[in-house]
Amino acid sequence: MAHYIEPGRLEARLVHGTVGRLARYGLSLAGTQELQVRGRGTGEWRPVPVNPLDLGGERFLVSVRGESQWARNLRAAGAGRLRLGRGVRPFRAEELRDEEKPPVLRAYLRRWGWEVGRFFDGVSARSGEAELRRIAPRHPVFRIAVDG
């Protein structure tokens, strides 16, 4: 069974809803933006707050909760949009193989471990390479390239 940690109703409503609304109005908390990706079944745009990571001249999205709906939708669509205020940036996405993920996961945990560390099974930015490889299959990671 795929690994996924579902947010509680209160967290989804208060935290995700508030952070997503702030991003829509142009206010980013610690780099948060609104990811918009088309649903697999409906084709409708689905919004969710995310923390895009810039690393080595590239940009990545990490699904901290595992096989989330947004990760499944992005995998199927291969593209989405990032929004901050009025700025909407379409992008193409490529999922990383598990062996490519450790440096991205380490950088992500270095930047946002204080916020999302509880979803990484005790692994932190200071953990060894073997520990990062162990959790890599549980966290989809996408390299994104902004169109235009």
94-124 residue pLDDT tens = 999 999 999 999 999 999 998 889 899 999 9
Domain limits at 124?
9-146
Q: Is residue 132 part of a domain?
A: yes
Question: Can you tell me the mean pLDDT for 22-49?
Answer: 81
Instruction: Decide if pLDDT at 62 tops 60.
Output: yes
Q: Is residue 125 part of a domain?
A: yes
Question: Can you tell me the mean pLDDT for 43-57?
Answer: 94
Q: Is residue 96 part of a domain?
A: yes
Q: How confident is the model at residue 52 (pLDDT cuts 50, 70, 90)?
A: very high
17-32 residue pLDDT tens = 555 555 566 655 567 8
**Which tokens in the block code for residue 111?**
């930047």
Question: Can you tell me the mean pLDDT for 131-138?
Answer: 97
Name the domain count of the chain.
Answer: 1
A 10 A CB-CB count for 104 gives: 23
Give residue 9's pLDDT: 60
Question: Can you tell me the mean pLDDT for 120-144?
Answer: 96
Give residue 38's pLDDT: 97
Instruction: Decide if pLDDT at 72 tops 90.
Output: yes
Q: Is residue 3 part of a domain?
A: no
Q: Is residue 4 part of a domain?
A: no
State the CATH number of the domain containing residue 134: 2.30.110.10
Distances (CA, A) of 12 to 15, 20, 87, 88: 6, 10, 24, 23
Instruction: Decide if pLDDT at 1 tops 50.
Output: no
Q: Is residue 119 part of a domain?
A: yes
Q: Parallel, antiparallel, or unpaired for β 33-38 and 79-84?
A: antiparallel
CA distance 5 to 130: 22
